[in-house]
Amino acid sequence: MAYQLFGREGYEFLRENDENRTPPGTTKLERLFERNDNPSLILIDEIAAYLEQAAAVEIGDSTLAKQTNTFLMSLLSATQNNDKVTVVLSIADTAFADQAEDVRGLVSETISEFNSISDRVEGSITPTEDNEIAAVLRHRLFESVAEDGRDATVDAYMSLYTGDRDSFPDSATNPEHRDRLEDSYPIHPTVIDTLTEELDSLPSFQRTRGALKLLSRAVYRLWQHQSDYQERHFVRLFDMHPSDGDVRSTLLRLFSSVDMDFEAAIKADIFSEDGTANAEEEDRNWVKNGHPHSEHI
């Protein structure tokens, strides 16, 4: 950090701390930042992931993780009244909950102390709220989405839901659901719910990043088989299909902490290379009886 901000001179100022793996104190860091002529942003990304690894590195009677937390405290203290330096910590707590909680506790304690002595504003920011997930995913996956296509699709879906209320839950026929269909288009709201409420409870699932990875594979699958999906309206859960090796490996990794053989369950019930999975058999029977294939709905 000292080298990036102030070059070799900055590093030499903290060389002893670096070589001995001892955190510089607040006063020393304040003297370092006195060299600063231009505004600076110090972004420490996914600090919880780093602390996970640093906890295994012993330094005397301490660990590198504990030393890092001490350094963070000194860094925040040294920059509290310096208008030319802003410190941002990216915690990424979903994947490293224990370490993230340590950082959050440290930051909260530090902020409480700073607020009583500082005119600066410190606080925590959640980059993506639940109601923003759909917009972020759409922006990252599609260059543009035609509004006329969205409106016609939403009208057709709501007409289907309200025209056969006995076949759908009450939530599908209320006006709020129409808003959700519009907001999430072309990703169906049930996909967003699964990614943010179900998979997000798994410790190794990183919400927006994990959702992007799975949904990008779904979009790729639809794009590669356009002739089969001309009548499709939304990206659905079954588009994240286990026939895609990336999707399959991601799901197996996510559920690896659960005491169940999900690979065997996938082969028996959802998808198998020879087409004998229970769902595949049901699909064939469904089509024989004159109904559309489930993946065309």
- Summarize pLDDT for 6-37 with one digit per residue, the tens: 999 999 999 999 999 899 999 999 999 998 88
Q: Output the pLDDT for position 120.
A: 46
Q: Output the pLDDT for position 115.
A: 42
φ/ψ region of 290 (left if φ > 0, alpha if ψ in -120 to 50, else beta) reads: left
- Partners of 58 in the beta sheet? 63
Q: How far, in Å, CA of 88 to CA of 292, rounded?
A: 52
Task: Determine the 3-state secondary structure of 59 from DSSP.
Answer: strand
When pLDDT is cut at 50, 70 and 90, the band that residue 113 belongs to is: very low
Q: Output the pLDDT for position 130.
A: 63
Q: Backbone phi, then psi, for 229, in 5-degree steps?
A: -125, 30
Q: Output the pLDDT for position 156.
A: 93
Q: What percent of the chain has pLDDT over 90?
A: 26
When pLDDT is cut at 50, 70 and 90, the band that residue 291 belongs to is: low
Cβ atoms of residues 76 and 107 within 8 Å: yes
Q: Is the pLDDT of residue 296 over 50?
A: no
231 vs 193 pLDDT, higher one:
193
Q: Is the pLDDT of residue 222 over 50?
A: yes
* Distance in angstroms between the alpha carbons of the first and the last residue of the chain: 53
- Partners of 59 in the beta sheet? 62
Q: Output the pLDDT for position 292.
A: 58
Structure-token pair, residue 18? 């670096």
| CA proximity to 97, closest of 204, 227, 220 | 204
* Number of helical H runs and strand E runs in the chain: 14, 4
119-123, 222-226, 283-287: the lowest-pLDDT one: 119-123
Neighbours of 215 (CB within 10 A): 21
Instruction: Report, as an integer, the average pLDDT of 235-251.
Output: 88
Instruction: Report, as an integer, the average pLDDT of 157-177.
Output: 91
Structure-token pair, residue 211? 């959702």
For the four alpha carbons of 183, 185, 190 and 195, in that order, the dihedral sign comes to negative
Q: Is the pLDDT of residue 287 over 60?
A: yes
Q: How far, in Å, CA of 18 to CA of 156, rounded?
A: 63
The CA radius of gyration of the chain, in Å to the nearest whole number, is 26
When pLDDT is cut at 50, 70 and 90, the band that residue 56 belongs to is: confident
Check: pTM over 0.75? Answer yes or no.
Answer: no
Q: Is the pLDDT of residue 105 over 80?
A: no
Q: Output the pLDDT for position 119.
A: 44
- Partners of 43 in the beta sheet? 88
Q: Output the pLDDT for position 128.
A: 58
Q: Output the pLDDT for position 23.
A: 93
- Of the ranges 5-19, 108-122, 191-205, the best mean pLDDT one: 5-19
Instruction: Report, as an integer, the average pLDDT of 205-211.
Output: 74
Q: How far, in Å, CA of 95 to CA of 105, rounded?
A: 17
Cβ atoms of residues 91 and 100 within 8 Å: yes
Mean pLDDT for all residues in the chain: 81
